[in-house]
Chains A and B, each alone.
Chain A
């Protein structure tokens, strides 16, 4: 398939690997963070890190949308889902994210009407088909997913549908990056920037990273050769003393994003003063809420959600994994008490979470290394 096969070509991969080796300075240790969960998944699935020299370390950032949802927000969602008048809808992975009192899957087993949907449009269809019920959509995700929620809300409004509500947990990518860069316990040399988020926001919002923090950013595609090339581009910037935003994913990402998508987001959402991130705490202006014009479709206003705050389980080290301070297997419960079948932390839920990705694809390589 065009744009797939050539980006998985083993020969080209080996050639890129050789160029990466040539670009690194012997004796220097490089830490490069990939921000997007999709990148983490590709790295482990295809063994991209096995093609890198030992002194180039990939650190997995907070770009998995379900991994950053705090337990309290899940509990609030479950409280809404348990209402008898509600059909509660969410994406697949969200069903298994643990709150303080179980998951949405547990709530479904307990009798709540929880249904998995592929898009908010599916939830809107359910609302049309079930006018006697309230249909609530648990909206999660970065700027990649938020336009879909926004357009669905606009449709609901235009059609006069009064039984469709959104429990909004959308977040934005720039504030957590800034928080990470301000973090004293994290030393990074550069970033592999998110690909599909950038189809919406473009590459320009990441210019603060080189400008304010002196770190290069390369927006990357999702195939293994995309990632190898992006790592090479970061290393080349460092070797040449350059520091800028580069776009490896030019076949999809315009430098200024999709202006129509940005307009839609601005029309429907506004920034919350603060939003809690799993493992990162409260970050200013990092979460989206519905504007007043959509207040009648806002599930948080309709049901006055409890606003639960729940501390992460003590054994779980998702926060340190999300900040790249520790590797997944260095967590005390990785692969023992915490597995994809019975996750304790969110990073073990989604296949884009660093822990689940490593558990599914990478643990065997580590076992070989230990031997």
Chain B
């Protein structure tokens, strides 16, 4: 989940479904290697599936 020379998921207003691997005390979660702010969908738990854009979870993705 990253920008490359052909495609930028952030500029494309694209959101990607990512699974929560670890919930941190500061309100972020580690989701498949990406640090994600979860304030907009909290509380989140390990295993939740989030729709992530530009490092923020916008909503929960359908399981």
Residues of chain A whose beta carbon lies under 8 Å from any beta carbon of chain B: 2-3, 36-38, 41, 63-66, 91-94, 116, 118-122, 140-142, 144-145, 147-149, 151-152, 155, 194, 196-197, 199-200, 222, 251-252, 254, 258, 260-261, 264, 350-352, 360
Is B19 on the interface with A (CB-CB < 8 A)?
no
Asked if A350 contacts B12 (CB within 8 A), the reply is yes
Asked if B12 contacts A41 (CB within 8 A), the reply is yes
Asked if B11 contacts A196 (CB within 8 A), the reply is no
Which of the residues B34, B55, B62 comes within 8 Å of A252, measured between beta carbons? B62
With both chains docked as a complex, state the minimum distance between the C-beta of A173 and any C-beta of chain B, in angstroms.
Answer: 10
Asked if A121 contacts B59 (CB within 8 A), the reply is no
Number of B residues contacting the other chain (C-beta, 8 Å)?
31
Asked if A121 contacts B14 (CB within 8 A), the reply is no
B interface secondary structure, majority = loop
Which of the residues A122, A145, A251, A264 comes within 8 Å of B39, measured between beta carbons? A264
**If A196-B58, A252-B51 touch, does A118 touch B10 (CB 8 Å cutoff)?**
yes
Measured between beta carbons, the chain A residues less than 8 angstroms from B14 are 38, 196, 222
Asked if A148 contacts B3 (CB within 8 A), the reply is no
Asked if A252 contacts B54 (CB within 8 A), the reply is no
With both chains docked as a complex, state the minimum distance between the C-beta of A122 and any C-beta of chain B, in angstroms.
Answer: 7
Asked if A151 contacts B58 (CB within 8 A), the reply is no
Residue of A whose beta carbon sits closest to that of B28: A121
Complexed CA–CA distance, A155 and B12 (Å): 25
Asked if A147 contacts B58 (CB within 8 A), the reply is yes
**If A121-B35, A199-B51 touch, does A258 touch B58 (CB 8 Å cutoff)?**
yes
Complexed CA–CA distance, A58 and B53 (Å): 26
Residues of chain B whose beta carbon lies under 8 Å from any beta carbon of chain A: 1-8, 10-15, 17, 28, 34-35, 37, 39-41, 51, 53-56, 58-59, 61-62
Asked if A200 contacts B58 (CB within 8 A), the reply is yes
Asked if B4 contacts A38 (CB within 8 A), the reply is no
With both chains docked as a complex, state the minimum distance between the C-beta of A126 and any C-beta of chain B, in angstroms.
Answer: 13
Asked if B13 contacts A197 (CB within 8 A), the reply is yes
Complexed CA–CA distance, A84 and B59 (Å): 39
With both chains docked as a complex, state the minimum distance between the C-beta of B10 and any C-beta of chain A, in angstroms.
Answer: 5
Asked if A120 contacts B55 (CB within 8 A), the reply is yes
Asked if A141 contacts B4 (CB within 8 A), the reply is no
**If A142-B13, A151-B39 touch, does A92 touch B8 (CB 8 Å cutoff)?**
yes
Asked if B11 contacts A352 (CB within 8 A), the reply is yes
Complexed CA–CA distance, A140 and B3 (Å): 15
Asked if B11 contacts A144 (CB within 8 A), the reply is no
With both chains docked as a complex, state the minimum distance between the C-beta of A143 and any C-beta of chain B, in angstroms.
Answer: 9
With both chains docked as a complex, state the minimum distance between the C-beta of B60 and any C-beta of chain A, in angstroms.
Answer: 9
Asked if A350 contacts B8 (CB within 8 A), the reply is yes
Asked if B40 contacts A261 (CB within 8 A), the reply is yes
With both chains docked as a complex, state the minimum distance between the C-beta of A129 and any C-beta of chain B, in angstroms.
Answer: 14
Complexed CA–CA distance, A343 and B41 (Å): 38
